[in-house]
Amino acid sequence: MKTTIVTIFCFLLFFGCATREDAIRLDNRLSRLETQSMETDERYNEIKHQLEQFGQIRKEEEQDLRSESASLHAQIDRLKEELRILNGKLEEIHYRVNRKIETVQNSDRQLQEMLSFQNNRLTQIEHYLNLEPMKKPVTRLSTPSTSEQSTKQEPEKQLTETELYIAAKQSFDQKEFEKAREGFEKLLKKFPDSGRADNAQFWIGETYYREQWYEKAILEYQKVIENYPNGNKVAAALLKQGFAFLSLGDKPNAKLILEELVKKYPGSNEATVAKQKLTEF
């Protein structure tokens, strides 16, 4: 544009058609145009700079957005992994709970089977009890003599727990089984919490066993097992109970009881005898 103005100015001078005032006005106009051109260039440069800054800001914002997006994706991936781990733990807990439920159910089933076995055994024992018992000698009734009457009127001596036990055991050793049985029963009645109670109950069973009244012996041995589970005569009671069943010809029940003895008291002398007996089945 500046070149065009200069050309016009020269043209006017050349032809002499322009006055001095026209030249001045033209020069002023030219100056204004130059000023405007400079302002336009400055404005252009300013706008260009602003655009460059905006582009840089936009670029930085895009970079930040990409960084935030990558961070969000990483968090989502971590959450997915944590969710996967939690699902695995839930499945493991569910599996363990199911196993425990199965274990409890199996334990309950085994308990029911054991109770059923015990009930069947007790039923069979009761059945044996209802068999015809051994005949016992009939005591002849006689009129007591005067001396006997006076003896009966004398107060009975109160024996101690130890004296009762020793007297009953002596009667047993002398094969006076009925007298021994009465002595042990008296001890149990007077001293139910005695430390010899389990032994006394066992010897009651033994009196019936020696008299070959096996059905009654089985029941008395069962009282030892049930009433004195922590006593020292349980293994012996199981052994003699098994032998009593054998004497009755009931090998299945005898076998079950001897096997139970071996299982519960493997280190006992009774278990050794039971193992030997089981080899004969």
Sorted by where each begins, the domain ranges of the chain are 1-38, 64-111, 159-278
CA 59 to chain centre: 62
User: Mean of the per-residue pLDDT values for the chain?
Assistant: 79
**1 three-class SS:** coil
Taking residues 250-257, what's their average pLDDT?
96
Query: pLDDT-derived band of residue 99, with 50, 70 and 90 as boundaries?
Result: low
Q: List the structure tokens of 42.
A: 């400055």
Q: How many CB atoms lie within 10 A of CB 9?
A: 16
Fold of 159-278: 1.25.40
- Report yes or no: 171 and 180 within 8 Å, Cβ to Cβ: yes
221: which residues sit within 8 A by CB, 6+ positions away?
A: 202, 205, 237, 238, 240, 241, 244
Q: How far is CA 56 from CA 43, 62, 71, in A?
A: 20, 10, 22
In tens, the pLDDT along 164-222 reads 999 999 999 999 999 999 999 999 999 999 999 999 999 999 999 999 999 999 999 99
Residue 233's nearest CA partner among 253, 214, 261 is: 261
